[in-house]
Structure 1
């Protein structure tokens, strides 16, 4: 069923009740790929269009009452990475051909996956792997690793141009894992490369609001990291899934994933980042004491030396991030003035090279100014964040600014508000 087909059936469901629905292809696309939640009536019409009994519909749990959501997680196993990678690549291909509606994964399925990861030893990689294909040599793998490193360290404004190349590189690595012939060292390197690329592609999808695809890529990366015996990378990918759950207003799932990820990772910097994300999830649930414990742990772990370099995926973590995320957690707990102070301190510590992060931090600052009833300062911060996001191509940051619009509409005459609202609407 295409978006046009579904919209037509939704309108017919409304007409059978003597009502009208404004569903069209564009609105279906917003539900499908941009994280927009249909209203209660539309969800009832969607169920009827898909032949789902009305009693199954739970508008509060959209989209998890849809059939098949939560059944797409491939269990961890010695041979699971290639199927998991193919599943992720398939979601992108089906989106481009408009053959899918939504493949969301339930919170319970993600927590179960995290529990399995935490309680399962990584798979021993021994001997040569033979699929009847051509031999994969170390020189080729070195070339792929070098290419990946150069593509994934580009600044945000350049990544929008290189994203298709990274997608293609992940497809190539998947082909080699699935059909090549290689020894154990090459096998480990291929799986490490697949995990790293899948994480990067997942963040590209997440930044563009393609949440179902992002989760599939992160899950695929988890399979490769587990097969390659990289516990810290596995924890990183679980941390990404948890961050996404928090972003989508499901902090309970986020906390469940993070608690399991923390049980299976070792490096202090990795644990610090996971504790920081756990604090945000706990704060969103109003759990003050647990939030403060997690923030204290994050700050302490960041200063602990393990004698080993931090994993690449968390090497960027610094005092600036701890300060700002601590401020965000305190903001959720209602400690607005202390939160505002921490967010401002974090912004001052952030290096200029992290433009996207700075833009996100500015939206946090704008929110704290709004909570302090300082709309003029809030508008200035939000406008600067919007301009940065538009310049470097950071749609997630743009979304954060748009989420603040209803709060600014209460201050139509304040300096900067009209300009901000105009640029958001442009």
Structure 2
């Protein structure tokens, strides 16, 4: 109800009066600066000026840019919207999360917001694909200086080891029981690491390791949000993780985060117009020499699946072959190979190649260990849907029942949604 309470935006009113613009003129200028699908109504600026409402991304920042060009000096977000309060729009997180300079200070800001408990971020707050691609290019540039580290809390390598163990334990829980189980815990720990960065005493080397720990936690927060279907919140956590990875100077972390964004764009609406293949391929080329075989295979598998989603069978098969080749000769890579079979199988499902898809999915389901229950349940639903599409109703129901038993109590929005979609398709058929 906060948006309904009248709170006139005096700064916006002052700038419009200075320019001699009506709210309708502002609406025309903002719409002209945006892609056609994002044009606003002529009455929207009245709500911003007279009722203190804050437009959503990307309109909030576009208003600042339009007015800044007209006035001749920069109009900042804080100047225009900062006094309206966090309850007066969907923009809880920084509107410049992608466009701020990529420094240690802005990485801390992004991490603090990703670990905070602000109002929910809505699906309409997703970034555009070109915005994300621009951000994804930053991680490969030389890392900035580590600022801070002069606080009262002495940070020692032992704390970093504890953070790594804590991250790994939460990741295992998430993979078994779903993102809903660990999201609040991961956000709280990310907020704690943000405090250590702000108040801690550390040298540059230790500081970069601390940013690396923060990046892994932010990525986990993003993945848990994605698993629950919170696409916009996931995206912002991934960008925070990307900023922290950039400061850490570890390109392997950056590629890992870009891979998460690519997965989100392949299956969901994460990144309007985002080309997952192009973005992840660019990241992989930039860091290929430092990746381990399992890291390279994982990202190649994601690229192959994205090619399948785009209907590009020749490219999907070529990249899949490279991915399997990356794991050749490594007997210890059984779980990585199962993951890869699952991803390539999903790619063949997109292409309508059900027989090839089922061979791969069946092998992946059989090889995945119990601690990978969430991935196993999701692949079983994909397998069941393939049987349904090819007319084998009994096998489809048997496989789906197995997925339901495995997913009982699991806090995964992705698995729950896949089962609902399967059941709806069965009823419709």
Band the TM-score falls in, shorter-chain normalisation:
0.7 to 0.9
Q: Partners of 2:364 and 2:104 in 1: how far apart?
A: 43
* Partner of residue 166, structure 2: 147
Aligned residue runs from structure 1 range 253-402, under 5 A: 253-265=275-287, 266-267=290-291, 268-303=293-328, 317-402=335-420
- CA distance change for structure 1 residues 242 and 52 in 2, over 3 Å: closer, same or farther? farther
Q: Partners of 2:334 and 2:110 in 1: how far apart?
A: 28
Query: 1:296, CA displacement in angstroms?
Result: 0.6
Aligned residue runs from structure 1 range 5-404, under 5 A: 48=41, 51=44, 72-73=97-98, 74-90=100-116, 92-95=117-120, 102-118=124-140, 120-123=141-144, 129-154=148-173, 156-157=176-177, 160-248=180-268, 253-265=275-287, 266-267=290-291, 268-303=293-328, 317-404=335-422
- CA distance change for structure 1 residues 113 and 373 in 2, over 3 Å: closer, same or farther? same
- CA distance change for structure 1 residues 108 and 351 in 2, over 3 Å: closer, same or farther? same
Q: Partners of 1:347 and 1:387 in 2: how far apart?
A: 14
Which consecutive unaligned segments of at least 5 residues does structure 2 have? 6-36, 47-55, 62-90
Q: Which deviates the most, 369-378 or 211-220?
A: 369-378
* Partner of residue 38, structure 1: none
Q: Partners of 2:329 and 2:143 in 1: how far apart?
A: 26
Q: Partners of 2:311 and 2:354 in 1: how far apart?
A: 14
Query: 1:88, CA displacement in angstroms?
Result: 2.1
* Partner of residue 60, structure 1: none
Query: 1:281, CA displacement in angstroms?
Result: 1.0
- CA distance change for structure 1 residues 3 and 229 in 2, over 3 Å: closer, same or farther? same
Secondary structure, aligned partner of 2:155 = coil
Secondary structure, aligned partner of 2:324 = helix
Q: Partners of 2:222 and 2:257 in 1: how far apart?
A: 9
Secondary structure, aligned partner of 1:80 = helix
Q: Partners of 2:398 and 2:346 in 1: how far apart?
A: 19
1:76 touches 1:116 (CA, 8 Å); kept in 2? Answer: yes
- CA distance change for structure 1 residues 343 and 153 in 2, over 3 Å: closer, same or farther? closer
1:129 touches 1:183 (CA, 8 Å); kept in 2? Answer: no
User: TM-score, normalised to structure 2's length?
Assistant: 0.72
Query: 1:377, CA displacement in angstroms?
Result: 1.6
- CA distance change for structure 1 residues 152 and 331 in 2, over 3 Å: closer, same or farther? closer
Query: 1:185, CA displacement in angstroms?
Result: 3.3
Secondary structure, aligned partner of 1:264 = helix
- CA distance change for structure 1 residues 350 and 317 in 2, over 3 Å: closer, same or farther? closer
User: TM-score, normalised to structure 1's length?
Assistant: 0.72
Query: 1:402, CA displacement in angstroms?
Result: 1.5
Q: Which deviates the most, 349-358 or 273-282?
A: 349-358
In angstroms, what is the RMSD of aligned CA positions? 3.3
Q: Deviations over 1:244-279 (max 9, x none)?
A: 111115785211221122112232221211111111
Which consecutive unaligned segments of at least 5 residues does structure 1 have? 6-42, 54-62, 412-426
Number of aligned pairs?
Answer: 349
- CA distance change for structure 1 residues 252 and 187 in 2, over 3 Å: closer, same or farther? closer
Q: Partners of 2:283 and 2:111 in 1: how far apart?
A: 21
1:252 touches 1:285 (CA, 8 Å); kept in 2? Answer: no
Q: Partners of 1:137 and 1:221 in 2: how far apart?
A: 22
Q: Deviations over 1:23-68 (max 9, x none)?
A: xxxxxxxxxxxxxxxxxxxx99x95598179xxxxxxxxx987655
Query: 1:384, CA displacement in angstroms?
Result: 2.5
Q: Partners of 1:158 and 1:111 in 2: how far apart?
A: 28
Q: Deviations over 1:383-407 (max 9, x none)?
A: 3223322322222101111222332
2:238 touches 2:257 (CA, 8 Å); kept in 1? Answer: yes
Q: Partners of 1:351 and 1:373 in 2: how far apart?
A: 29
